[in-house]
């Protein structure tokens, strides 16, 4: 029963028209049923009352015949009249009762001497008036009983007394068969019910047609428009039909759709502008959800990872930038997502060493902040990270520095080389004009030597300014180191640094970027010089192997604290022993140079015992991408 009722409710609930028709038909049905019951009852009463009136008419006619027989004292004739009327098909029985209710004459002899005890009989005896009633007699069914008083007349006074004292001599009771009357009433009622059903069906059809045409069909079109609007087709509009309530609703719907379309276009433009700004940002930007998975990333971060978008979105951050299979330990390093999950993430800035896909590593300056990301299902708390590639910034700083040096070298070449070349030419001519053995000729040769030394210094500056992207060349690392020491000799001498240079026997030829090697030696020597306050001893040695060269730069300075060893190669991290201020790019730049060359760099140091940097370089520059396969070794105590 519940299943049937549930299916019926579901069927009705799926359509407004069905619900309206069900309620309307139920109301009409109940109203019609009540009306028919009232009409049936009224008609039945009317028909039965008409039959009762007819029975009384028949009863009156019979009463006249009986009164005539009674006046003639023709008792046998009276009995014959009673018996003859009682034998009629529509008559069930005829009785003449005394005023006390006793049956004196009857068409049924067994009823003689008995009393009729019904409410109608008692009322007729009490009031002396005609009555009729319907009742059911055992073995005879439904009957219509007509009760008519037989009034006393003067001729009857001898037997019944004077009329004024005894107005009624008795009562004529005729029982008619009520079956035909009730059957007729039933047929009439069924005919009314049928006509009512036809009227209800016609009314229901008219209601269904009018409701469907005027309401539900229009609502269905509005529903289709709303469904398409909800699916994202904001250009959809609802048809406006007429000027009634549904038409006004359709106009309001269309106005809402227009505003939504306009808001969508404005939002799309704002999102496009925001996206363009994010994509144009030089730093990597990514959004990480509370489940550590990346929700979005800009082009700069995709370039940092070296992966397409489909291989980044949805992957865990710890797998992409830290090479881990599980979240990073929050106790060992700063993790914005862990702080986000604990509800304590605010704008945070920290340095991190990222391990990127392919084994590459990158020093990063990261700014993390909380972000509420709106999704289809609501919103979620995320962390947004701005990742600055410090290695790239080191490259930029190197390029800027080389550009500045190049400008200086070009100025020196124009302002110094040309006059020096002219002076050298004049000295050569003066020397040639002097005879052999002349003291002035020897002085001219000394001047010529000093001028050539000045030209070598300017040439070293120009070679130092050459960009590292130039084509690799064959050069001798020992000659290059000797050239750089000569270039830095004034600064070393001023700092009280004693230099010991140990070149290999047979030279140290290699193929690579000469400019990069000059930058490497320049920064390692400068780093050693800053580590020796008040002077010290600097040892620069080159050892040649068949396939590699080992460059060693050792100082007798203050050394490096163990807790600082893991930071010295980070960009913009600086802690000079001599108190001078630096940009923190020297060793980071050395690491970049060694990485490009496919080598490795190591450091050994103890506080108070100086530091030793050892760089191992292949004799031949690596092919493109080889640096990713041979990342440099960094700080080693």
Cα 365 to chain center, whole Å?
32
The confidence score (pLDDT) of residue 446 equals 74
Domain check: are 53 and 169 in the same one? yes
Residue 82 included in any domain: yes
Residue 454 included in any domain: no
Residue 620 included in any domain: yes
Domain check: are 488 and 603 in the same one? yes
- Grade residue 503 by pLDDT with cuts at 50, 70 and 90: very high
Domain check: are 492 and 617 in the same one? yes
Domain check: are 360 and 487 in the same one? no
Helix orientation angle between 439-464 and 390-412, rounded to the nearest 10 degrees: 150
Residue 371 included in any domain: yes
Domain-terminating residue out of 389, 421, 442: 389
Q: How many residues does the chain have?
A: 637
Domain check: are 488 and 635 in the same one? yes
Domain check: are 50 and 163 in the same one? yes
> For residues 475 and 455, is the Cβ–Cβ distance under 8 A?
no
Domain-terminating residue out of 141, 163, 184: 184
Tens-digit pLDDT profile for residues 11-45: 655 565 566 666 676 766 677 667 666 766 666 66
Average pLDDT, the chain: 77
In this predicted structure, the answer to whether residue 614 has a pLDDT above a threshold of 80 is yes
**Lowest mean pLDDT across 60-64, 229-233, 321-325, 584-588:** 60-64
> For residues 144 and 52, is the Cβ–Cβ distance under 8 A?
yes
pLDDT: which is higher, 20 or 522: 522
- Grade residue 637 by pLDDT with cuts at 50, 70 and 90: very low
Task: Give the number of domains in the chain.
Answer: 3
In this predicted structure, the answer to whether residue 623 has a pLDDT above a threshold of 80 is no
Q: What is the CA radius of gyration of the chain?
A: 62
Residue 544 included in any domain: yes
Tens-digit pLDDT profile for residues 538-571: 999 999 988 899 999 999 888 888 877 777 777 6
The mean pLDDT of 178-197, rounded to a whole number, is 74
In this predicted structure, the answer to whether residue 323 has a pLDDT above a threshold of 90 is no
Q: What is the pTM of this model?
A: 0.42
**Lowest mean pLDDT across 63-72, 102-111, 516-525:** 63-72
Tens-digit pLDDT profile for residues 307-319: 999 999 999 999 9
> For residues 528 and 557, is the Cβ–Cβ distance under 8 A?
yes
- DSSP, collapsed to helix, strand or coil, labels residue 402 as helix
Domain check: are 601 and 478 in the same one? yes
- Which residues have C-beta within 8 Å of that of residue 122, sequence separation ≥ 6? 101
Which range marks the domain in which residue 47 is found?
A: 36-184
Q: How far apart are CA 471 and CA 429, in angstroms?
A: 39
Domain check: are 173 and 70 in the same one? yes
Q: Provide the b/e sequence for 551-590 (b: ≥16 CB within 10 Å).
A: bbbbbbbbbbeeeebebbbbbbbbebeeeeeeebbbbbbb
- 635: burial class by Cβ within 10 Å (0-12, 13-18, 19+)? buried
Q: How far apart are CA 369 and CA 360, in angstroms?
A: 26
Q: Which range in 275-279, 477-481, 624-628 is most confidently predicted, on average pLDDT? A: 477-481
The mean pLDDT of 78-98, rounded to a whole number, is 79
In this predicted structure, the answer to whether residue 285 has a pLDDT above a threshold of 90 is yes
Domain CATH number, residue 47: 3.30.450.20
The confidence score (pLDDT) of residue 162 equals 74
Backbone phi and psi for residue 547, each to the nearest 5 degrees, phi listed first: -115, 0
pLDDT: which is higher, 484 or 472: 484
Q: Provide the b/e sequence for 148-185 (b: ≥16 CB within 10 Å).
A: bbbebeeebeeebeeeeeeebbbbbbbbbbbeebbeeb
Domain CATH number, residue 501: 3.30.565.10
Tens-digit pLDDT profile for residues 224-256: 888 888 887 888 888 888 788 878 888 888 888
Q: What is the DSSP string of 198-211?
A: HHHHHHHHHHHHHH
Residue 521 included in any domain: yes
Domain check: are 381 and 485 in the same one? no
**Lowest mean pLDDT across 49-58, 136-145, 160-169:** 49-58
Q: Rounded to the nearest 5 degrees, what angle is found at the Cα of 295, between the Cα atoms of 289 and 298?
A: 130
Domain check: are 478 and 384 in the same one? no
Domain check: are 495 and 599 in the same one? yes
Domain check: are 501 and 602 in the same one? yes
Residue 120 included in any domain: yes
Tens-digit pLDDT profile for residues 365-406: 899 999 888 776 678 899 999 998 877 666 555 555 555 555
- Grade residue 174 by pLDDT with cuts at 50, 70 and 90: confident
Place of tokens 């790239």: 392
Domain-terminating residue out of 368, 389, 410: 389
Provide, rounded to the nearest whole percent, the portion of the chain with pLDDT above 70: 74
Residue 301 included in any domain: yes
């Amino acid at each position: 029963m519940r299943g049937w009722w549930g299916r019926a409710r579901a069927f009705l609930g799926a359509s407004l028209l069905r619900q309206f028709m069900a309620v309307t038909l139920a109301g009409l049905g109940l109203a019609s049923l009540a009306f028919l019951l009232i009409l049936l009852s009224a008609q039945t009463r009317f028909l039965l009352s008409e039959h009762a009136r007819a029975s009384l008419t028949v009863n009156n006619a019979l009463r006249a015949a009986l009164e005539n027989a009674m006046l003639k004292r023709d008792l046998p004739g009276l009995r014959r009249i009673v018996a003859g009327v009682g034998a009629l098909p529509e008559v069930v029985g005829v009785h003449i009762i005394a005023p006390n209710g006793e049956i004196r004459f009857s068409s049924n002899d067994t009823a003689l001497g008995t009393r009729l005890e019904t409410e109608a009989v008692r009322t007729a005896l009490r009031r002396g008036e005609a009555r009729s009633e319907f009742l059911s007699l055992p073995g005879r069914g439904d009957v219509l009983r007509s009760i008519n008083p037989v009034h006393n007349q003067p001729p009857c006074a001898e037997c019944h007394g004077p009329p004024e004292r005894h107005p009624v001599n008795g009562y004529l009771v005729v029982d008619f068969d009520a079956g035909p009357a009730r059957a007729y009433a039933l047929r009439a009622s069924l005919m009314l019910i049928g006509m009512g059903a036809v009227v209800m069906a016609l009314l229901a059809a008219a209601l269904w047609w009018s409701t469907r045409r005027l309401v539900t069909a229009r609502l269905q079109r509005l529903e289709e428009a709303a469904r398409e609007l909800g699916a994202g087709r904001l250009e959809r509009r609802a048809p406006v039909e007429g000027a009634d309530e549904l038409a006004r609703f359709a106009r309001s719907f269309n106005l809402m759709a227009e505003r939504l379309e306009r808001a969508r276009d404005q939002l799309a433009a704002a999102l496009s502008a925001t996206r363009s700004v994010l994509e144009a940002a030089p730093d990597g930007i990514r959004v990480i959800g509370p489940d550590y998975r990346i929700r979005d990333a800009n082009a700069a971060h995709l370039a940092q990872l070296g992966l397409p978008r489909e291989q980044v979105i949805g992957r865990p951050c710890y797998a992409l930038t830290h090479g881990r299979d599980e979240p990073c330990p929050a106790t060992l390093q700063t993790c914005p997502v862990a702080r986000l999950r604990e509800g304590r993430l605010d704008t945070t800035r920290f340095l991190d060493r990222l391990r990127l896909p392919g084994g590459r590593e990158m020093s990063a300056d990261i700014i993390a902040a909380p972000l509420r990301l709106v999704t289809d299902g609501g919103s979620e708390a995320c962390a947004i990270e701005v990742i600055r590639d410090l290695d790239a910034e080191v490259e930029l700083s190197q390029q800027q520095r080389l550009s500045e040096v190049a400008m200086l070298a070009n100025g020196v070449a124009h302002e110094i080389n040309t006059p020096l070349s002219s002076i050298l030419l004049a000295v050569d001519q003066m020397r040639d004009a002097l005879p052999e053995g002349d003291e002035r000729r020897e002085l001219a040769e000394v001047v010529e030597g000093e001028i050539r030394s000045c030209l070598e210094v300017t040439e070293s500056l120009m070679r130092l300014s050459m960009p590292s992207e130039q084509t690799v060349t064959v050069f001798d690392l020992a000659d290059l180191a000797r050239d750089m020491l000569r270039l830095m000799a004034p600064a070393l001498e001023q700092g009280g640094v004693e230099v010991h240079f140990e070149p290999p026997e047979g030279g140290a030829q290699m193929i690579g970027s000469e400019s990069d090697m000059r930058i490497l030696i320049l920064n390692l020597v400068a780093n050693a010089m800053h580590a020796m306050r008040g002077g010290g001893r600097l040892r620069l040695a080159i050892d040649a192997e068949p396939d590699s060269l080992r460059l060693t730069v050792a100082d007798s300075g203050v050394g490096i604290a163990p807790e600082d060893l893991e930071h010295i190669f980070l960009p913009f991290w600086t802690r000079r022993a001599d108190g001078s201020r630096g940009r923190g790019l020297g060793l980071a730049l050395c690491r970049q140079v060694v990485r490009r060359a496919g080598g490795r760099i190591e450091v050994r140091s103890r506080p108070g015992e100086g530091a030793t940097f050892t760089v191992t370089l292949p004799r031949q520059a690596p092919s493109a991408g080889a640096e990713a396969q041979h990342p440099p070794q960094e700080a080693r105590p």
